[in-house]
Each structure stands twice: as C-alpha cells, then as structure tokens.
C-alpha cells in the first residue's frame, strides 16, 4: 500500500469546525415551530408529594403545557438496565417523573413546555409543590440500617449484594507473615462534560415517527427501549447524533429526559427542545465513584502477595439507572489489578441513598480500585522496608504468566482473562522516564516545600459489548462515505476511521467523510463506551474497506470482461496493466447498472476483552503550611497494542490525567445531612483548569498488539485517568511519611491535609 495513514498523527478532521465555531451541537439545532421545555426538579431529598398545583403556571402567557406524572394517561415506563443488570435491581428502577414520592434533589417532578426557555423557567416558579418531608439517607451506613426505606416496596435499601472469590483466601491469611487492613474511600464526583445534555424531539402526526436529536453513545440500544416505551416499531424511532462536547460515560445514557422530551412533543404536537443547564447537570446527570473499600492484604516477608480480601460498598444514589452495578462491581473486580494475587475474596454491596443516581464515568471502578490497591502496595512497601517499585516488580504478572485467568469476579459476566502482555517492562519504561532511581524525596531548601514522587500500576479492559458496524460507500463524485453505528463524543472517531478507510482503500484521506451514531445511517450499532471505538468500529471499517475493494474488482471485471482474480488494486484504482479504473469511475459505472459501490461490515470480538496496562508516576510539591499540593510533573506509560493516531492517543492520555487530577483534588459532590447538594454550581464544584496542569509525559507502548482483533488495537481512552489518584496519593503519602498520615480518602484537599497534619503535629 502506498498511502499510509495508520500510525500517523493525522490532524483531526473534526477540529476545523470545532475551532472555528461551526460545529453543530444540540443547542445549535433549531426546528421550525420548536417549543422549549424546562423541568421542575425536587428541592427535597426525600419526601412524599402531597400536592402539585400547576394552575398559575398553566395560565401564564406563552406556556403551552404543564404536566406531572398524574396527568399522563399511560403509565410511565421504567428506565431500563443496560449494564451489570443484577436481578434485585428491578426494585429500584426510575420512572421519568416522580410519583407520590421524591427521592433525590434534582428528581423531575413536573414539566413545562413554553414558547421559550425564559417563559418556561418563569412558569416553573409558579408551580406549587407541597410535600411531607421524610428523613434523608445520605450515608451508606444509614442506608444499611434501613430505618427509613427509600423504596418502600423493596423492603430494604440494599440494591443487591454478592460475594466473589478465587483461591483459598482464608488459608492465605492464616499463615501469612504480613497482613494489613485499611479503609479507603473515593468520593462522589462525576464526568461533568463541558457540553451539558440536550434533546429535541419531533413527532410526525401523519405517520408513526419519533425523531430524537441529541442522542449519542448507545443509540441502537436506546432506540429499542424508546420504541418499546412509546409503543412504536423500532423503524419509526430515529435517534440523531449531533456533535457532542464530551461523553466520559455519562452522556447518551437513557435518563428521565429521554422520555419527557418525547412526551412533551406528543402532548404539544410541536418539536420540543430541552437543554440541560449547568445547575441541572450537576444534580440530574449521573454521579460516580462513590465507593468505600475495606481492604486487607496478606503477603510473605519478601512482599509476595498471598491474598487480598475486601468489602466494597457503593453509594448508588436513589435509583439504579442504565449502568446498573458497574461502578462497585468493577471496583471489586479490578482490586487485584496487574498483580499475582493467588487468592481473592470480595463482598460487594450496592446501597440506595437519597442522592443523584450513579453511573459510569471514564474508568468506572478502575480509578477507585487502583487508588485502594496502589495505596495498599505503598503502605506494604513501607512496612516491609521494600522499595515501592521493587515490591511491584515482585508481584506483577510476568509475560510467561499471561494470559491469566482472573475468574468470574462479576456475577453474570463471563470468566475473565488478562490477555498477553509484559507488565514489568511497562513499569520499567516508566521508571526510566521519570528517573525514578535518581529521585530522592526531600524538603527543598529553596522554598521549604516537600517534594516527592509516587508510582502506581494499572490494567484497564477495553472493547466490551455488542458487535459494531461500518459501511463504506464510494460516491460518483469520488468521495468516500464511511458510516458507523459507533458514536463520536469528541474523541476523534471521524479522523481515526477515516485513517483506516483511506489506508485500506489506498486513497487520500481528504476524500473520506465519516458519519456516525445516528440510527438512520446504518442498520445496527453497538455504541461508544469502554474504550471501544477504535477496536470495534476500526476493525469494522477495515472489513468494509476490504469488501469495497473486492466489489470494485468485480465491477472492473465486468467492464473488462475478465475474472476479478486477474485484477490488482493499488493507489485507489483497479488495474489490469496498463489499464486502470478509479474508484470514482467504478462508482459511476455501478450507478449506471442500478448498483452502488459500497459494502457493509460488522466486527464482532465475541466479547473477548483486550487489557491495556501500564504505570503512572507523579512528582509533587507540598506546602506543609497551607496543605496545597502542586503536581509538578506527571508521567505515564500505557501499552495500547497499536497506535492508530499517536497525537490523538497522546491527547486521550493527557486529558485523562487532567480529569484524574480533578478527581484527586477538586471534583466533589458534597451533600449535607438533609441531602442537599452543596456543590451545585461551578463556583463550588471545582474542575481542573489549565492553571493546575503539570508537565505531562504520556508514552504509548506498542509492544504487544492485541491478538483479539486483526488490527491489534487495545482501548486507549481510559488508561490516562485510572491511576492518577493512586500515583498522586502515593506521592503525597511519601512526602508526609514522617507524619504518619493516612492518605486513604479522596479528594486530597488542603483542608484535609492540614487537618491530618494538625493531628500528627499535636502528637509530636
């Protein structure tokens, strides 16, 4: 092949429109006759609804419709479980509007449809919601006690619970030279994409059609459930994807609004737009990460791990939404991580509280598990007086031990196996990059700050879920159209798939246009999550391109009246020396025959997961007087099998680190005892900004192409975030080693560090 695009840092094709303000996000979509919707959300965490008086709101000029659950003839559907659908969860599913009872601050109670959003919000203020307050359950401890039930019919606040294990953990702990037990906590925070959610529904009265703009992520799954909910054939429901300003797991799941906007459109007979504002976003969009983990480790005197046992409790919020039990179950599954852990046992509990429901957020469960495990590794290293890197080396699975069966650690999931790789060499590369062996933790005489370095190892699975589709069509203009069921949430899917298409068709990439996500483009699709797109849609695109080449040869063979096997394909042309046909000529020829030069493809990895892996290092400077921590440098290595576009992968890794630093220091949904969200605006919910960024060195390794897909890709979207709290936590703990302070709870705020130091200083 002469045109080489795979492995090149091609400039992102989508950037021009993003950077020049010509992207088309959901709020840029305007339909004729469109009305605006706003939602009355519960200001109470837990209460019986006694009355909703909507009279004045309905009477307001410019108001088209006001409704609550009681106004609807059909019973509202439940939002379905898509992932980790543990059976007991059926008792805790959410309906799009609260009926009789509200269970978290932000729960939709009533809907206003008006001529514009200003009027809609004015009308919200006129709705009178009367309630009988109930005690709010805001901790997992209170949830467990069950004195107040959040879902009365369930009879308990435990969403579900289970135990998983492998090996004989009792025996491992019984004879162990070394054991340690710690309590860890990762705080409730979330993805908080810069573009909030938004939807526009349009219904056509003359035929059954529901078109929903603003969809993304898992459009075909969502279409199926929306069709069911609105009693329509699937073919009558269209989910249309626009540009999306960040997904990170939360965008594109089914939420109450995905039902309310269509209902509003049906009732009013008009297209209805709802744009989530930031205040809504912080209490209405899924939260995540809210885990406590009681963890114990057993090892030999040399630090060889004999066993781990743990109990993980997840604060699930008030309902179980589409992501089911992913967060706590993955936290449990990933606790042993990349290490040789001969025996492991974990109890997992999913607790219902009066908070916003929890869903997946980039690296769900992994960020949490890595923090707990890698902190434990450093504590053990100190206890046994072994260097943290040496200790990790002793326990990392070796290339000879891979593939390694980790067993069935999530009920209902297939038996999981870590695929081939070389974990120690990924750590070694990191240690070389950060000059680990030359580094000395110290109090710097120049500014009095404590400077230290922390490291952490990780594994990260990728590309789970259903098959993915791609279809390639050569137009008679010579342009090439790639369509896929995968979505783009801003990560560069258009560029990546164009690279693969252009490489395999041996053409200029400028000729390729990628459309994605919308259910109108392809027959089926799997969607975008779990670092899937390059693996799944990438391989599907490759298959489609190969089929297009074959079809091109068949068409050329008709023209030349020969057999396709006599023909070659090069430089975007079919050749029979010295003659040749361009793809454009063949596409035109196909058209004259009532045919089309195109091919559909499906890639199915049969749910075999590729695991990326690597290590992180953070160098920090800690001002002991103020408790302020500055991350000065950050390094990570990540084996991703094969890099499709190194610059985009670098972007994923760097972006992941930054988002991880937010989760480590800043992002925090804080609730008071009454279940009120105290960090409900960007003044109090803090995201990392460019001012907080360290110099980040992200190294993608391509030493072990995945054997589970023909192109060798492993997911590369989450390795940047998953070990940040772990590495930074270890660095801070090392800096504060003389004070013997436990760094077991996120976020690591100046106030918390000072509080711990005060305790330690007073003991001195």
Contact residues for another protein, defined by CB under 8 A:
117-118, 121-122, 125, 277-279, 625-628, 666, 668, 670, 678-679, 681, 683-684, 686, 688-689, 691-692, 749-751, 754-755, 758
Structure tokens, 137: 């359950």
| Residue 197 Cβ vs another protein, minimum distance, rounded to whole Å | 14
Distances (CA, A) of 53 to 46, 97, 456, 514: 19, 16, 55, 49
The DSSP bridge partners found for residue 210 are 203, 237
Cα 682 to Cα 692: distance, rounded to the nearest angstrom: 16
Query: Closest CB to another protein among 262 and 680?
Result: 680
Give the 3-state secondary structure of residue 53: strand
Task: Give whichever of 339 and 671 is closer to another protein, judged by the CB atom.
Answer: 671
DSSP state of 151: S
CB of 749 to another protein, least distance (A): 8
Query: Least distance in Å: CB of 569 to another protein?
Result: 53
What SS3 string covers 571-594? CCEEEECCEEEEHHHHHHHHHHCC
Rounded to a whole number of angstroms, the minimum distance from the CB of residue 761 to another protein is 10
Q: Is 402 helix (H, G, I), strand (E, B) or coil?
A: coil
Q: Which is nearer to another protein, 183 or 278 (CB)?
A: 278
Round to whole Å and give the CA distance between 419 and 400: 11
Dihedral angle computed from the Cα positions of residues 458, 463, 466 and 472, in that order, rounded to the nearest 10 degrees: 170
- For residue 203, the minimal CB distance to another protein (Å) is 26
Burial class (CB within 10 angstroms; exposed 0-12, middle 13-18, buried 19+) of 267 = middle
Q: What are the backbone angles phi and psi of residue 596, rounded to the nearest 5°?
A: -145, 140
Q: φ and ψ at 416, to 5 degrees?
A: -100, 145
The CB-of-718 to another protein minimum distance in angstroms stands at 24
Neighbouring CB atoms inside 10 A of 99's CB total: 15
Handedness of CA 359, 362, 364, 365 (dihedral sign): negative
**156/277 with CB nearer another protein:** 277
Is the Cβ of residue 257 or residue 506 nearer to another protein in the bound state? Answer: 257
In the bound state with another protein, the residue whose beta carbon lies nearer, of 218 and 661, is 661
The distance of closest approach from Cβ of residue 755 to another protein in the complex, given in angstroms and rounded to an integer, is 7
Nearer to another protein, 81 or 275 (CB): 275
Question: Residue 264, class by beta-carbon neighbours within 10 Å (0-12 exposed, 13-18 middle, 19+ buried)?
Answer: buried
Q: With respect to another protein, which residue has the nearer C-beta, 29 or 687? A: 687
CB 543 within 8 A of CB 601: yes
Minimum Å gap between C-beta 693 and another protein is 11
Phi, psi (deg, nearest 5) at residue 136: -90, 135
Which residue number, 304 or 676, has a Cβ lying nearer to another protein? 676
Minimum CB distance to another protein, residue 297 (Å): 33
CB nearer to another protein: pick between 620 and 644: 620
Shortest CB 119 distance to another protein, Å: 9
Helix (H, G, I), strand (E, B) or coil at 626: coil
Nearer to another protein, 337 or 680 (CB): 680
Q: Quote the CA–CA distance of 175 and 166 in Å, as a whole number.
A: 17
Beta strands in 577-716 (DSSP E): 579-582, 597-603, 610-623, 628-639, 695-701
- Minimum gap (Å) between residue 573 Cβ and another protein: 52
| CB closer to another protein out of 289 and 516 | 289
C-alpha dist (Å) from residue 393 to 338, 438, 447, 467: 10, 18, 34, 37
Q: Which is nearer to another protein, 87 or 625 (CB)?
A: 625
Q: Which residues contact 270 (CB under 8 A, 6 or more apart)?
A: 33, 34, 35, 64, 113
Cβ-based nearer residue to another protein, 38 or 497: 38
Which of 471, 465, 463 has its CA nearest to residue 533?
463
Tokens of 592: 């004259």
Closest CB 38 distance from another protein, rounded Å: 9
According to DSSP, the β-strands at 695-701 and 628-639 are parallel
**Smallest separation (angstroms) from another protein to the CB of 686:** 6
Pairing of strands 579-582, 573-576: antiparallel
Provide the 3-class DSSP secondary structure of residue 272: strand
Q: CB 155 → another protein: shortest distance, Å? A: 35
Token code pair at residue 669: 């949904």
Question: Do the beta carbons of residue 363 and residue 722 sit within 8 Å?
Answer: yes
């Amino acid at each position: 092949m002469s045109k080489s695009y795979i492995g090149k840092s091609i400039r992102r094709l989508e950037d021009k429109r993003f950077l020049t303000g010509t992207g088309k996000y959901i709020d840029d979509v305007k339909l004729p006759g469109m009305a605006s919707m706003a939602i009355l959300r519960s200001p109470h965490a837990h209460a019986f609804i006694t009355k909703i008086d909507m009279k004045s709101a309905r009477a307001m000029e410019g108001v088209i419709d006001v409704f609550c659950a009681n106004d609807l003839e059909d019973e509202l559907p439940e939002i379905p479980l898509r992932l980790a659908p543990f059976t007991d969860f059926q008792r805790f599913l959410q309906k799009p509007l609260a009926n009789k009872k509200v269970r978290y601050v932000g729960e939709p109670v009533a809907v206003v449809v008006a001529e514009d959003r200003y009027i809609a919000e004015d009308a919200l203020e006129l709705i009178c919601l009367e309630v009988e307050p109930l005690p709010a359950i805001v901790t997992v401890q209170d949830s467990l006690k069950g004195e107040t039930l959040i879902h009365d019919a369930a009879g308990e606040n435990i969403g579900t619970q289970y135990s998983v294990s492998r090996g004989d953990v009792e025996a491992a702990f019984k004879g162990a030279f070394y054991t340690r037990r710690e309590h860890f906590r990762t705080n409730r925070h979330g993805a908080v994409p810069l573009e909030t959610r938004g939807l526009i529904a349009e219904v056509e009265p003359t035929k059954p059609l529901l078109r929903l703009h603003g969809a993304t992520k898992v459009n075909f799954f969502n279409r199926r459930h929306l069709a069911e909910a609105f009693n329509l054939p699937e073919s009558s429901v269209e989910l249309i994807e626009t540009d999306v300003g960040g997904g990170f797991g939360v965008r594109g799941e089914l939420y109450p609004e995905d039902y309310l906007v269509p209902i509003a459109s049906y009732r009013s007979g008009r297209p209805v737009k709802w744009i989530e504002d930031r205040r809504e976003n912080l209490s209405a969009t899924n939260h995540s990460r809210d885990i406590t983990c009681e963890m114990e480790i057993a090892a030999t005197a040399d630090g060889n791990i004999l066993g781990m046992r743990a109990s993980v409790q997840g604060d699930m919020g008030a309902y179980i939404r589409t992501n089911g039990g992913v967060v706590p179950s993955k936290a449990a599954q990933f606790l042993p991580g990349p290490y040789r852990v001969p025996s492991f046992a974990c109890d997992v509990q999913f607790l219902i509280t009066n908070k916003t429901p929890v869903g997946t957020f980039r690296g769900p469960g992994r960020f949490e598990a890595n923090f707990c495990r890698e902190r434990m590794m450093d504590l053990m290293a100190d206890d046994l007086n072994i260097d943290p890197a040496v200790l990790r080396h002793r326990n990392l699975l070796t290339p000879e031990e891979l593939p390694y069966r980790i067993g069935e650690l999530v009920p209902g999931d297939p038996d999981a196996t870590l695929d081939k790789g070389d974990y120690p060499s990924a750590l070694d590369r990191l240690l070389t990059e950060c000059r680990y062996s030359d580094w000395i933790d110290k109090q710097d005489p120049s500014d009095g700050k404590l400077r230290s370095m922390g490291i952490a190892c990780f594994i990260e699975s990728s590309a789970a879920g259903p098959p993915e589709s791609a279809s390639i069509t050569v137009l008679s203009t010579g342009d090439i159209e790639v369509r896929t069921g995968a979505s783009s949430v801003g990560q560069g899917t258009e560029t990546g798939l164009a690279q693969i298409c252009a490489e395999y068709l041996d053409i200029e990439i400028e000729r390729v246009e990628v459309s994605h996500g919308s259910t109108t483009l392809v027959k089926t699709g799997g969607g975008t999550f779990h670092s899937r797109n390059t693996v799944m849609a990438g391989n599907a695109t490759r298959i489609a391109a190969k089929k297009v080449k074959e079809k091109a040869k068949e068409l050329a063979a008709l023209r030349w009246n020969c057999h396709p096997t006599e023909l070659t394909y090069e430089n975007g042309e079919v050749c029979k020396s010295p003659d040749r046909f361009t793809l454009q000529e063949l596409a035109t020829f196909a058209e004259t025959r009532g045919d089309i030069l195109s091919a559909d493809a499906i890639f199915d990895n049969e749910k075999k997961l590729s695991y990326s892996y690597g290590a992180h290092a953070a160098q920090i400077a800690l001002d002991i007087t103020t408790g302020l921590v500055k991350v000065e440098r950050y390094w990570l290595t990540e084996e991703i099998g094969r890099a499709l576009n190194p610059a985009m992968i670098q972007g994923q890794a760097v972006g992941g680190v930054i988002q991880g630093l937010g989760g480590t220091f800043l992002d925090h949904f804080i609730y008071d005892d009454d279940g009120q969200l105290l960090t409900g605006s960007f003044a109090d919910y803090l995201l990392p900004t460019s001012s907080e960024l360290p110099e980040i060195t992200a190294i993608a390794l391509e030493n072990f192409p995945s054997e589970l897909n023909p192109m060798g890709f492993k997911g590369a979207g989450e390795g940047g975030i998953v070990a940040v709290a772990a590495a930074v936590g270890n660095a801070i703990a090392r800096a504060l080693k003389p004070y013997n302070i436990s760094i077991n709870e996120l976020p690591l705020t100046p106030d918390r560090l000072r509080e711990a130091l005060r305790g330690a200083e007073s003991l001195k």
